[in-house]
Amino acid sequence: MRQRQITIEGGRYLIFYTFEDEPGLAAASPDATAARGGALDGARDEGVGAADARTARAPAARESAVEPTAEGEPRV
Amino acid sequence: MSELRWNPLLGEWVATATHRQDRTFLPPKDFCPLCPTAPGGFPTEIPEPTYDIVAFENRFPSLQPEPPPPAVEGDDLYPVEPARGVCEVVVYTPKHSSTLAAEPVEQIYKLVRVWADRFRALSAHDFVKYVFIFENKGEAIGVTLHHPHGQIYAYPFVPPRVARELEQSLSHRERTGRCLVCDIVEEERRDARRVVAENASFVAYVPFFARYPYEVHVAPTRHLQALTDMTDAEQRDLAAAIKQTIAAYDRLFDLSFPYMMVLHQRPSDGGDYAHYHFHVEFYPPLRTATKLKYLAGSESGAGVFINDTLAEEKAKELRSRVEPVVWAGGRR
């Protein structure tokens, strides 16, 4: 496990954790990660049953019903 | 403003954090602050086009390493302290619409190792007395961001619920010479009716004394106090036990099951806690697919939970939804 720390807005730290040097623990590809809404990737990766795939859809479905409340800034 | 106000009635701290009223509330996914920052796109909290797992200081912390002075002065009746501590966000995956349950077990194993690293790092602060790792999942719990993530609060005191477990564990050891959670795990395995899943190092069970219908505890069979005490095999087994538990939750009603997940570890104040036993607790608020378990008068006002269900029956339901965990390449 490797970590790389940077400073983000407000002088806060952010740490990236990576596992590229460990067999079987590579991160998801950038293509997959850039495609938001990839809810089924995890279930497919692990080869688990249909139940996982069904449940993984639920959050996305709920989100689409949420009224937009963006305030123009990324905040947590 | 943020500060710690003492509640003399219960002998515990209350944290005020008025700035959190302004935090982002359920933004549309194109403005998710936990997604990677796409080239030329909306700047999120994570200024790179991809990542695996990240941890960062919360923009709206309840506790800060250098907190502002309290808004009010304390006195003997009402002591007030600066809200000193650390609040971190841990983002599990760059995939916005995933969940921890939908992630492969390898990702959960990586998360366990990140948790251990954050526990170690935050425990090193002299002002941190307890590192509390948790996840609130689902709108029913009150999440403000859907992107899969958890949080870590590094408190300047041992929180009262953990303090009570510590007292009970010490009392049990003084009375019997044994560890309380070791005895609970042994009894749950012997009885077996409340066991949901089990592997070489961990047991997941609906506790005999469950307060929520689908409450599950995950405890190691070996007596240990923290994530940092675990072997690599135990960290993998913890990941597998968590995966099986939350995936079974999702299969219960064919929906993404809301829950609170909390890790109970030893305090970080330098004390001797050899009598304590690490475990994870899940508190799902649903009692049916459409009904919530509310914390109403008895629960909130008297501290007495009324559970409408039997732990043995709910464990049987969950057990029937547990599926094997498959590691990439077949390795554990």
Q: How close is the nearest chain A Cα to the Cα of B45, in Å?
A: 6
Q: How far apart are CA B44 and CA B14, in angstroms?
A: 31
Question: What does the pLDDT look like over B186-222, one tens digit per residue?
Answer: 999 999 999 999 999 999 999 999 999 999 999 999 9
At residue A25, φ and ψ (nearest 5 deg) are -120, 20
In the predicted model, is pLDDT for residue A34 greater than 50?
A: no
Nearest residue to B166 via CA among B11, B13, B276, B278 = B276
Cβ-defined contact of B254 to A8 (cutoff 8 Å): no
Catalytic residue among B147, B149, B172, B279: B149
Q: How far apart are CA B89 and CA B134, in angstroms?
A: 10
Q: What pLDDT does B214 receive?
A: 98
Q: What's the mean pLDDT in B105-111?
A: 98
Q: How far apart are CA B72 and CA B139, in angstroms?
A: 33
pLDDT > 90: percent of chain B? 89
Helix residue ranges, H only, chain B: 105-123, 160-176, 180-191, 232-252, 311-319
How many Å from the N-terminal Cα to the C-terminal Cα in chain B?
Answer: 47
Tell me if B219 sits within 8 A of B202, measured CB to CB: yes
Minimal Cβ distance to A69: which of B26, B32, B102: B26
Segment 39-58 of chain A within 8 Å of chain B by CB: 39-43, 45-49, 51-52, 54-56, 58
In the predicted model, is pLDDT for residue B109 greater than 90?
A: yes
Q: How far apart are CA B263 and CA B235, in angstroms?
A: 13
Question: What does the pLDDT look like over B301-323, one tens digit per residue?
Answer: 999 999 999 999 999 999 999 99
Q: What pLDDT does A29 receive?
A: 52
Q: How far apart are CA B160 and CA B132, in angstroms?
A: 12
Q: What pLDDT does B21 receive?
A: 62
Question: What does the pLDDT look like over B261-283, one tens digit per residue?
Answer: 999 999 999 999 999 999 999 99
Nearest residue to B202 via CA among B174, B226, B237, B172 = B237
Residues of chain B contacting A54 with CB distance shorter than 8 Å = 254
Segment among A37-41, B136-140, B144-148 with least mean pLDDT: A37-41
Question: What does the pLDDT look like over B224-271, one tens digit per residue?
Answer: 999 999 999 999 999 999 999 999 999 999 999 999 999 999 999 999
Average pLDDT for chain A: 55
DSSP for A19-55, written as a single string = -TTSTT-PPPPHHHHHSTT-TTHHHHHHT--HHHHHH
Q: What pLDDT does B8 receive?
A: 98
For residue B41, name the pLDDT band (cuts at 50, 70, 90).
confident
For residue B329, name the pLDDT band (cuts at 50, 70, 90).
confident
Segment 278-317 of chain B within 8 Å of chain A by CB: none
